[in-house]
Amino acid sequence: MTTEQVTITFAELGLREEIQRAIADAGYVHPTPIQAAAIPAVLDGRDVVGIAQTGTGKTAGFTLPMLHRLAAGRARARMPRSLILSPTRELATQISQSFETYGKHLNLTMALLIGGVGMGEQEKLLEKGVDVLIATPGRLLDWFDRGRILLNGVEVFVIDEADRMLDMGFIPDVERIFQLLTKRGQTLLFSATMPKEVRRLAERFLRDPAEIEVARPSTRAEKVKDVVVPIRGIERRVALDRLLDVEKIENAIIFCNRKRDVSTVNKFLQRQGRNAQDIHGDLDQSQRQATLDAFKAGTVDYLVATDVAARGLDIIDLPVVINLDVPIHPDDYVHRIGRTGRAGKEGHAYTLADSDDGKYLAAIERLLGSKLERQMIESVSEETETPRKPSRARPAKRAPVEPEVVPAETAAAPVAAAADDATPAPRRRKRRTAAEAAPDAAPEAIEATAEPEGARRRRRRPAAAAEVAAEPVATEASAAPAEAAPATAETAEPEQSRPRRRKAAASAPPTGVAKATPPAPKPQRGRGEPRDEPVVGLGDHVPAFLLRPVPIKAVA
């Protein structure tokens, strides 16, 4: 059924005297249409499907009759007598505040089971037994799976904001909770809209429910004037800042579609000198509640939020709502602007839109069944110069720096000074050619003692462990004639190096072609012969190539 405006009082609804006193203390006399229709149906024990937009008093519509029913009875340990499911922490907290307001003259207990809140005190209450348990689906199932709560004693089960449960993906959890409530006597389902999935849920689990519809689904409140403000060539944050100045908006909720944009817009407003704070799902419950309390108290002027805050926020004196982004889902538009124009007061809603938002606006207008008014606002709708961020141009390439020519005497000075304070680094000793080692030797002898190219490369490779331990020893071959030198070298070569030697020999130039004289190894000295060169101390770090045995060559 669809309700009309009523003029009855709460005293005529048959509620307990303690509840009526609490209602009078809160300053209420007449129920809202949803309350006037839902309260008698709940008191009669029927299942109820309530369809009403936010801000129409749905919470009191099920809170008051539940308190009336639970006043007679007693809770048992870990077995709550009633259960209320809420899609968000904020809405669950507000429902708990409603129970505290209307049940203050009753001796009933309540527990709040939500994430982000210390559960020590709540667990103690559950151990003793509570009359009312308010929870979010995920946290409730977590506690049930751990065996810390029993659900077979629930008499009244309430699902608040069922369409929001659908949007947030909680319907599978709700279905499982339905199956766990084996002894529930009454089920109440309240929603702002009735999508087919929610309708299917109600048909499956509710028994002959009384369906109460206060207004058509997704209709904007009569007291709210909502307009679309076109923006052209203006960045949204800049357009928002201009809108606040032109319309002299001193208090508002600003909605964004994405969480990452909420923080960005909040910081932008703060840089403009505005008193703003943000609220979204990534903040813990204590931060979110503190921000909401500050906004309600007036210590925060602008609240930048996602759709998490679009449902269930009861802020009576909120004059303006601004959609910085056009909602992707048409239902979210109704819930956002429903934060203003509450309790019979007038409100304003502004939606900033550009040419890319046409399809979203069309979907909202199809849902509402009417055209949204466009309002051109000076300096917001007109294309003007938008402040730009400083460009990050690439720095010019530096001109190449010519190396400074330093005389040898000047360059050697700091090196010599540094040598006094530091241990000299190991140096690789330069090999001398055979011509340098024996300047008086004949050219034929020098050529005969020249080391093949492959052998020189082989000397540079790290030696094996057995080769490192070996020590070159002078033999009688050092005194052999020059003709025996090739045979001696071949005999001293390791087996695996012979292919490389053959390859080097094959690449040698043909006979008769002039070739450069290869360097000859240093002359070998026998044991005990005095060194004629300075010894460089290498400590424990001796390069392996210095310890490698070298094939002995005959010197002429």
**Alpha carbons 343 and 160: distance in angstroms, whole number:** 20
pLDDT(51) > 70: yes
pLDDT(133) > 90: yes
Mean pLDDT score, 276-299: 84
Asked whether 40 and 7 are in contact (CB, 8 A), the reply is no
Could you tell me the CA-to-CA distances from 488 to 199, 554, 556 in Å, in that order?
Answer: 102, 8, 14
| Tokens of residue 133, six digits | 């348990």
Which has the minimum average pLDDT: 66-75, 354-363, 384-393?
384-393
Domains located in the chain, CATH noted: 10-213 (3.40.50.300), 224-374 (3.40.50.300), 434-526+542-547 (no CATH)
pLDDT digits (tens, 9 = 90+) for 475-525: 443 444 444 444 444 444 444 445 555 544 555 555 544 445 555 555 555
**Alpha carbons 490 and 501: distance in angstroms, whole number:** 9
**Alpha carbons 43 and 63: distance in angstroms, whole number:** 11
Helices marked H in 156-246: 162-167, 171-180, 196-205, 236-246
Which has the minimum average pLDDT: 307-321, 340-354, 502-516?
502-516
Could you tell me the CA-to-CA distances from 81 to 111, 122, 449 in Å, in that order?
Answer: 11, 15, 107
Cβ partners under 8 Å of residue 367, min gap 6 = 218, 330, 331, 333, 334
| Tokens of residue 151, six digits | 């659900």
Q: H or E segment at 88?
A: none
Highest-confidence segment of 173-187, 427-441, 445-459, 483-497 = 173-187
C-alpha closest to that of 237 among 273, 258, 265? 265
What per-residue confidence (pLDDT) applies to 68?
A: 94
Query: How many C-beta atoms surround the C-beta of residue 442 within 10 A?
Result: 11
Asked whether 73 and 130 are in contact (CB, 8 A), the reply is no
pLDDT digits (tens, 9 = 90+) for 80-116: 999 999 988 888 988 998 999 999 999 899 999 987 6
Asked whether 405 and 254 are in contact (CB, 8 A), the reply is no
CA 99 to chain CA centroid, Å, is: 36
Mean pLDDT score, 457-478: 44
Highest-confidence segment of 264-268, 387-391, 409-413 = 264-268
> What share of the chain in percent tops pLDDT 70?
63
Asked whether 77 and 129 are in contact (CB, 8 A), the reply is yes
The model's pTM is 0.53
Asked whether 317 and 345 are in contact (CB, 8 A), the reply is yes
What per-residue confidence (pLDDT) applies to 554?
A: 63
pLDDT(367) > 60: yes
What per-residue confidence (pLDDT) applies to 517?
A: 54
Asked whether 246 and 381 are in contact (CB, 8 A), the reply is no
